[in-house]
């Protein structure tokens, strides 16, 4: 008899926790398992094989449900597929326990007696949580994801079965488990293998270019289920489910979504964006009003995308840096809530400015990049537009704003703020930025032509609004022979 992978992992976990493993045959003291559990164990033997190293993935038998409603049988049939890469954590998993992380090369095991998140979903009326209770659960999942990403780890198989409650109490904390498919982030690299569970897999995983954003997608799917008791993507076969994930959007028109708050719907929509560049990060999601309500903003971890944007800012052309500063000045406070949380997390002494030491400390927390990238002093000098040796909030926003999210989440707002940023350069209002206007605003001396080259697509010697917007959206890099700033100690800030 072939013992399933999940059963082997359960036995190994039981030994680690010093708990006797379950016997194969029921005894007088141990009642026989329910029929549904026996059916689950039979289905677990129908495993999915994967050969990701050769670039091929063969999936096993798919779900046979005839409804989108969440159920134990249907969810269990969506087994995880893929092979854990070498070097990934093994069972028992390495996970945050208490307030700290285990030391390198060690594992910490804890018996979670509260059962799976899936069990509690099924125990709820209509298989759905209230918004308040759902927000508490989602906040805990996002914190786990954000901390993992900051430590260079992507889970890659987040689903209700892989979250356990510490105890049977209603307010028991949630723990992430089963890191068998997790992998470590490598700077500049994307994951090429297809792993995860069909209902929760992100589109970019199926396209073989995934990263930490895939965990956020999975949490978005779980949130959708928590709020309505149904799956956002469903079909009778596993291949059909994957097609739904790639092509269709979740349905927010059917019941009970009309009775769910707009804030909750906005939150789920921003997690289930198919483009990973415009999807909220785990740390950004923690700053969303719906999940943040009642939570403590000081507990929000550093956002790896914010740290990455700071590293990239030093590589941008001088003109794009000026353009981003103009864009940042056009944003309102509501749009900057997530960046306020990140600024406060980096500004340890709470004096309203980030020092060199505080920036060095923050960038060192992003473990995959800790010893890579440009020097911290170079990054601070690029962001510090008034050359006072500190980074204030307006300078921080210019370096860390997520332009792609502005474009995707609210196109009308993007049109408005990009127009306002353009008007700061277009002094005569003729719809173009001329070399004279650019030089007047940037206080640069010498030829201004190198700055225009990147944005002037039609080579007419001036920059239109569409060319300006394209510059903001593209990942432009600094070019050589760019004129240097004048010796003015406090150049005009845009």
Catalogue all structural domains in the chain, each as residue range(s) with its CATH number: 76-89+111-301 (1.10.510.10), 304-473 (1.10.238.10)
Residue 482: phi, psi to the nearest 5?
-85, 130
User: Residue 233 has which token pair?
Assistant: 């993507």
pLDDT beneath 70, residues of the chain: 1-109, 293-299, 370-374, 444-446, 475-494
Rg (CA), the chain: 25
Task: Kindly give the residue spans of alpha helices, DSSP state H, lying in 229-317.
Answer: 238-247, 262-271, 282-286, 289-292, 304-313
User: Residue 484 has which token pair?
Assistant: 């240097």
pLDDT given for residue 22 in this prediction: 43
Rounded Cα–Cα distance for residues 196 and 59 (Å): 11
157 is catalytic: yes
pLDDT given for residue 491 in this prediction: 37
3-state secondary structure of 49: coil
Non-local (6+) Cβ contacts of 145 within 8 A are 155, 158, 212, 215, 216, 219, 282
**Cis amide leading into 85 (omega within 30):** no
pLDDT given for residue 477 in this prediction: 40
Q: Most distant CA pair in the chain: distance in Å? A: 91
pLDDT given for residue 83 in this prediction: 44
Q: Residue 196: how many CA atoms within 13 Å on its side-chain side?
A: 30
pLDDT given for residue 429 in this prediction: 87
pLDDT given for residue 485 in this prediction: 36
- Whether the model pTM is above 0.85: no
Contact 199, 152 (CB under 8 A): no
448: left (phi over 0), alpha (psi -120 to 50) or beta: alpha
pLDDT given for residue 59 in this prediction: 35
Q: Which residue in the list 46, 126, 157, 171 is annotated as catalytic? A: 157
């Amino acid at each position: 008899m072939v013992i399933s992978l999940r059963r082997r992992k359960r036995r190994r976990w039981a030994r680690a926790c010093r708990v006797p493993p379950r016997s194969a045959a029921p005894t007088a003291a141990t009642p026989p398992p329910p029929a549904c559990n026996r059916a689950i164990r039979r289905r677990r033997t129908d495993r999915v094989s994967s050969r990701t190293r050769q670039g091929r993935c063969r999936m096993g038998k798919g779900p046979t449900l005839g409804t989108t409603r969440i159920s134990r049988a249907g969810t269990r049939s969506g087994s995880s597929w893929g092979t854990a890469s070498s070097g990934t954590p093994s069972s028992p998993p390495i996970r945050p326990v208490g307030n700290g992380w285990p030391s390198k090369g060690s594992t910490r095991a804890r018996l979670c007696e509260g059962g799976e998140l899936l069990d509690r979903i099924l125990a709820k009326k209509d298989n759905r949580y209230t918004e308040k209770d759902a927000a508490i659960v989602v906040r805990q999942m996002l914190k786990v994801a954000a901390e993992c990403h900051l430590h260079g780890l992507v889970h890659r198989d987040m689903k209700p079965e892989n979250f356990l409650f510490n105890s049977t109490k209603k307010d028991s904390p949630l723990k992430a488990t089963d890191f068998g498919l997790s992998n470590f982030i490598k700077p500049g690299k994307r994951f090429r293998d297809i792993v995860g569970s069909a209902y929760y897999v992100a589109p970019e995983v199926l396209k073989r270019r995934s990263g930490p954003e895939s965990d956020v997608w999975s949490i978005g799917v779980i949130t959708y289920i928590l709020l309505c008791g149904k799956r956002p993507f469903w079909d009778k076969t596993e291949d059909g489910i994957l097609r739904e994930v790639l092509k269709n959007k979740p349905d927010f028109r059917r019941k009970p979504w009309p009775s769910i708050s707009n804030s909750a719907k906005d939150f789920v929509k921003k997690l289930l964006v198919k483009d990973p560049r415009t999807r909220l990060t785990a740390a950004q999601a923690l700053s969303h009003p719906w999940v943040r309500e009642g939570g403590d903003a000081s507990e929000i971890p550093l956002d790896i995308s914010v740290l990455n944007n700071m590293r990239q800012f030093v590589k941008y052309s001088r003109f794009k840096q000026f353009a981003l500063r103009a864009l940042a000045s056009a944003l309102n406070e509501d749009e900057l809530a997530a960046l306020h949380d990140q600024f406060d997390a980096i500004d340890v002494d709470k004096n309203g400015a980030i020092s060199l030491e505080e920036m060095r400390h923050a960038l060192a927390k992003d473990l995959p990049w800790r010893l890579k990238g440009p020097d911290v002093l170079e990054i601070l000098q690029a962001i510090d537009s008034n050359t006072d040796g500190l980074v204030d909030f307006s300078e921080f926003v210019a370096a860390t704003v997520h332009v792609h999210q502005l474009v995707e989440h609210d196109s009308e707002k993007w049109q408005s703020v990009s127009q306002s940023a353009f008007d700061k350069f277009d002094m005569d209002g003729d719809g173009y930025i001329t070399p004279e206007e650019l030089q007047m605003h940037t206080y640069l001396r010498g030829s201004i032509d190198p700055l225009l080259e990147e944005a002037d697509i039609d080579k007419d010697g001036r920059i239109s609004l569409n060319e300006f917007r394209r510059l903001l959206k593209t990942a432009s890099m600094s070019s050589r022979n760019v004129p240097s700033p004048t010796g003015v100690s406090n150049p005009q800030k845009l």
